[in-house]
Structure 1
Amino acid sequence: MSQESMVPGELGDPAVRGAVSAPAGAPRRRTAEKEGLAEPGAVTIVVPTFNESANVRELLHRITESVPTRLPCEVVFVDDSTDDTPEVISEAAQDCPFPVTVLHREEPVGGLGGAVVEGIKAATSDWVVVMDGDLQHPPSLVPELVGTGERAHAGLVVASRYIKGGSREGLAGGYRIAVSRGATWLTKTLFPRRLRGISDPMSGFFAIRRSAVTAEALKPLGYKILLELAVRSRPREVTEVPFVFQDRFAGESKSTAREGFRFLRHLLGLRTASPVARMVVFGLIGATGFVPNLVGLWALTRTGLHYVPAEILANQLGVAWNFLLIEHLLFRDRRGHRSWWDRTGRFALLANADLVLRIPLIALFVHTSGMGAVPATALALVMTFVLRFVGTEALVYLPRRGREGRTAPRRAA
């Protein structure tokens, strides 16, 4: 990741500090008090960008008009662009009375959410405001977000389209409105406790205290970083302010079907963060594996093959099916701990070792209870479920202790 900083003056420089706190700045502080805003701390505005060269000049102009006169600020662009967005920012920053930094990422790990996390790590201010680079989030609201947080002693202030005074009018098209409302309903249904008091968890416009979030604990995937923050490290005090979602200033929306699928994967990852939830999803995936397993068993026994070798062969179909779903839906964020071949081999070995316990159970059910091979297999699969889950998590997807032990000294150094 490359970093370029265009700094007319640092936040701590007398020139910048004087613009806010010197005698000439006193009327500005009185104006803030008159408007009912608490005297806010400094703010870092984090803007993730992807090919927004047509928007960033106007964005910096509007920030200049509405923010520095009310509180000290810096702007950090975290850029994943393939166009000339960094160069345009560099040129536009020359006219800004506040520091402007560009962090350009060659690999956009985590998508827009990952970019926001990088911006939070780079922030130097008490408050971090996250906003899009397309001007659908009005920069004039930044002082109000911070001021509301200071006044309410909150750790997170969400700009909401769904409270009195807010509007989604810039969300063009009935399809996008329906998708937004559906995603909001789904997330609030899945996380009723964590999202209590947040009417717009899909908002990309919010302020958070830097001390209220541990960036290293976040695992963003896609563009809904507020949901990630609220679920993994929700501050104790949360409040909201209304905002009107604006029309995009220039360019086209980056929302695609691919981003929608990433969002659904992200939801699943957040929902399965606890062991109990992971076990439930593991069970649901295992239940779908019954289908290829039992269909294969039925087909093989119909050819006259004895149920024991038929079960061994049919089991491989269920193993392959379950492995694919578990890899992509349940343990996606843990795949980096081991190579694909290592994970595949361990999973297959564990799943087939399960037969050592399962086949005697099947034989017991068939010979002593008179059950057919198919129902006996289904019952044995259910009985060995917990052992399969614990073994899969511990032996396939948990980090190797040796690797952790070897990397720890290097991190300390």
Structure 2
Amino acid sequence: MTSHHTPSADGLGFSPEALGDTLGETAGVAEPAAVTVVIPTFNESANVRELLHRLTDSVPARLPCEVVFVDDSSDDTPAVISEAAQDCPFPVTVIHRESPEGGLGGAVVEGMKAAGSDWIVVMDADLQHPPSLVPDLVATGEKESADLVVASRYLPGGSRAGLAGGYRVAVSRGATWLAKGLFPRALRGISDPMSGFFAIRRSAVTAEALKPLGYKILLELAVRCRPGEVAEVPFVFQDRFAGESKSTAREGLRFLRHLVGLRTASPLARMAAFGVIGLTGFVPNLLALHALVTAGVHYLPAEILANQFGVLWNFLLIEVLLFRDRRHHRHWADRVGRFALLANADLVLRIPLIALLVGQFHLAVLPATTLALLTTFVLRFAGTEALVYLPRRDGTARSRTGTARSTS
């Protein structure tokens, strides 16, 4: 559901002549650049009124502005926003999502799709991101011809003071090091990839390429969209104005899954991860084999049964880590059956292939086995992608339904 509050001004249709003293005269920019402030909210009714008040005080009249809230709340946050928006000099839109797909990152992408400005500023609703910095982010981007401007806690003059406790500071710092270590090229020039406060040109965003999961939307944008020139400004991470942090251990796990998904986005990287996951399957396989043989089961049926434990283990891991975004194309039972069939076909194919390599091509047993393992691995990976996780051609794949919207 979408609701709008539009003031009597002309929305974003400003011209430099009508603005008088333009943003360019104070920031070295030729003319003011319109900005859409995208704010994801989840039960932030105690903060949004003060947030809009500070945005009104911070954004100069010469800077064309609109605010888009994307709300996943279960409280009265949308109603509070609509009421507070009556006093704002700029348009305020509320998009309420009944199904919060993608978490906070998904909400931001939804807001970006609704943005009507050259610049998009993303910030939190809890006032830990100071609204007074919004004009500076846009001005810096225009002045330095940047595609992305990040508000960084790690520049001189910046601070992470608002992080509650040493544990959250350590987690934030560790997540930053991990992300920069995994994506050194994509995050070059970004000292704070965990920041949720940044400005990006709308032209630098390819919304269709984004697959957000949880809080860290800047990391998603930097890796998948690869904006060109990057600039940074320091900022002090503030204390929450009201309410409690939404950061949880569950969000930490989603972040790790997100990192794996980003790191394995290319087919080659995905194949390597598929191989590593396959190796981990030896552990449940051997444990099950030991238990079955100890229980008196003959080793041949025990081998077959134990192999199924490894298959199930591998299936669960690739579901969560490699193909999370493709699971909706088929029912879970269909995916399990196809994956198990491919995994067991690998076992059936490998023995005749080894016999062929040894008998016809006179390879020694060890290199023949190695070549057979590599061949069946590549075939199983290709088969898993093509037969388990690709969309159906007949158009009967299950699709995720979007939230219906009405405009008032």
TM-score by length of 1: 0.88
Partner of 1:57: 49
Shift of residue 389, structure 1, vs aligned partner: 1.4
Do the aligned residues in 2 keep the contact of 1:32 with 1:70 (CA within 8 Å)? no
CA deviation map 1:74-107 (0-9, x unaligned):
0000001111111111111111111001001111
Aligned-partner Cα distance in 2 for 1:360–1:293: 22
Do the aligned residues in 2 keep the contact of 1:43 with 1:72 (CA within 8 Å)? yes
For these two proteins, the number of residue pairs brought into alignment is 396
Partner of 2:402: none
Summarize the alignment of residues 11-410 of structure 1 with structure 2, pairs less than 5 Å apart.
Answer: 11-12=10-11, 17=14, 21-22=17-18, 25-26=19-20, 28-29=21-22, 33-36=25-28, 39-300=31-292, 307-360=299-352, 384-403=376-395
CA deviation map 1:242-296 (0-9, x unaligned):
1111111111111111111111111111111011111111111111111222333
Do the aligned residues in 2 keep the contact of 1:39 with 1:147 (CA within 8 Å)? no
Partner of 1:4: 3
Shift of residue 384, structure 1, vs aligned partner: 2.9
Greater relative CO, 1 or 2 (CA 8 Å, sep 6+): 2
Question: Residues 321 and 35 from structure 1, CA distance in 2 versus in 1: closer, same or farther, beyond 3 angstroms?
Answer: closer
Shift of residue 370, structure 1, vs aligned partner: 12
Shift of residue 401, structure 1, vs aligned partner: 2.1
Give 3-state SS (helix, strand or coil) of 1:333's partner.
helix
Q: Could you list the runs of 5+ residues in structure 1 that have no partner in the other structure?
A: 408-413
Please say which of residues 53-62 and 384-393 is displaced more in the overlay.
384-393
RMSD value, Cα = 3.0
Aligned-partner Cα distance in 2 for 1:54–1:245: 19
Question: Residues 3 and 217 from structure 1, CA distance in 2 versus in 1: closer, same or farther, beyond 3 angstroms?
Answer: same
What letter corresponds to residue 137 of structure 1 in structure 2?
H
Q: Could you list the runs of 5+ residues in structure 2 that have no partner in the other structure?
A: 400-408
Do the aligned residues in 2 keep the contact of 1:154 with 1:239 (CA within 8 Å)? yes
TM-score by length of 2: 0.89
Identity of aligned residues (%): 77
Shift of residue 371, structure 1, vs aligned partner: 9.4
Shift of residue 57, structure 1, vs aligned partner: 0.7
